[in-house]
Structure 1
């Protein structure tokens, strides 16, 4: 089964370039890549994204993009067919200790984005980022707790997670699986982006997207 008008939503500090050759609607989130939309808050972001989508879509969300995909499905279910959540946490603020989160933010400020991008993605990555707005978005991401709402989701959901993920620990995939009724969990041997490139990820999406 092919993906239905897929929408690809990237993770924090990246851009739609991570989905390079894949066919579909590839979103640049505010402050990322070619986007010129100012970032206000997650609620405004999801509202704007829903207005921009012409119909019903499969959503592929990576990392923070998975959280945004879930918010979109909860708030605008008519816009969403199925969910493919890659390296996603139901509540990233609970994935790391507060001390480690503070240390992580300080290290980004000290060493720059290349430090994080190397941890999160298997290849070299360069694209624009408006850092002040992006850091505000990161704060909002850390504080977004979807756990109370996930039982209401009602969408076919595939959870795809790398067993060596250093950004969103594998236990977060298990939590997500337990919260979302009828979801399917697919474990890959990779890291936070659990394929060598976007075509490898697409191959996995096409396989797991069949009615198993």
Structure 2
């Protein structure tokens, strides 16, 4: 792990591997860059791969706020500090929403966009059938405050469709994704969950002009696949990739297949 000092004095931790064109990967809610530890060595054969810990997650310092704009500002400052111009950007779940915000606000920095298990709106609404009921998300917030570690463990298991992975594979994933035992700060987890409840990016998808791959598991229990299809239809240069029998984290349950799709797109 490496660390940058941001202008406001906070530290931002990140992983880096390989040489070549830059590829930045953004993790999901309540996770860290460790979720990419398995796929980074393979990607590093062709790319300079960077994966930051979002504020309050992994080794990165807490922030005062956790809006998409705050996460995106940290990433842009990281790019400037490392002297990176345009690059390929991948985001999973909440990280995908941050990636969408960056593609909208700084299109000159993003050459290609990879969205994994991403939604423009996390919460079910009268005109949005591809989300979770707000009552369920509010219940998740209460449970985090009552039993933080157990609630995160239960949410981790929701990442996968029933029988998608073996118990041995589950332990293997936990071994690298949570190998250091580090969980997000509770305030960061709650702040990020609040952002997920509020964000609605549907009206801004037309502003994304770069080639985009939208990858989604057909059996995603956190973000219904219809949300991914909506993204693919709303982004001008998007390709849709649905993986049968797969849940919310294709690169964890089907790493080889996911890498093949990523390489083909990023080439």
- Correspondence list, 1:49-68, <5 A: 49-53=75-79, 54-68=84-98
Q: Does 1:25 align with 2:50?
A: yes
Structure 2 unaligned spans of 5+:
1-19, 125-130, 161-169
Q: Does 1:46 align with 2:72?
A: yes
Give the Cα–Cα distance (whole angstroms) in 1 for the partners of residues 138 and 144 of structure 2: 10
TM-score (norm 2): 0.72
- Correspondence list, 1:2-151, <5 A: 4-21=21-38, 22=40, 23=44, 24-40=49-65, 41-53=67-79, 54-94=84-124, 95-109=131-145, 110=147, 111-120=150-159, 123-124=173-174, 125-126=177-178, 127-151=182-206
Classify 1:106/1:29 alpha carbon distance in 2 versus 1 (closer, same or farther; 3 Å): same
1:187 aligned partner: 242
Give the Cα–Cα distance (whole angstroms) in 2 for the partners of residues 32 and 200 of structure 1: 28
TM-score (norm 1): 0.89
Question: C-alpha displacement at 1:100, in angstroms?
Answer: 2.3
Conserved? CA contact 2:88–2:266, under 8 Å: no
- Correspondence list, 1:191-206, <5 A: 191-195=247-251, 196=253, 198=255, 200-206=257-263
Question: C-alpha displacement at 1:5, in angstroms?
Answer: 0.7
Per-residue CA deviations over 1:3-24 (Å, capped at 9, x if unaligned) read 8410000000110001004130
Q: Does 1:208 align with 2:265?
A: yes
Indicate the structure whose relative CO is greater, using CA pairs within 8 Å and at least 6 residues apart: 1
**Which deviates the most, 11-20 or 52-61?**
52-61
Question: C-alpha displacement at 1:177, in angstroms?
Answer: 1.4
Of structures 1 and 2, the larger Rg is shown by 2
Conserved? CA contact 1:56–1:78, under 8 Å: yes
Question: C-alpha displacement at 1:39, in angstroms?
Answer: 4.5
Q: Does 1:176 align with 2:231?
A: yes
What do you get for the CA RMSD once the two structures are aligned? 2.1
SS in 2 for 1:92: coil
Question: C-alpha displacement at 1:200, in angstroms?
Answer: 4.6
Aligned residues: 209
Question: C-alpha displacement at 1:103, in angstroms?
Answer: 2.7
Give the Cα–Cα distance (whole angstroms) in 2 for the partners of residues 37 and 198 of structure 1: 30
Conserved? CA contact 1:39–1:137, under 8 Å: no
Conserved? CA contact 1:30–1:39, under 8 Å: no
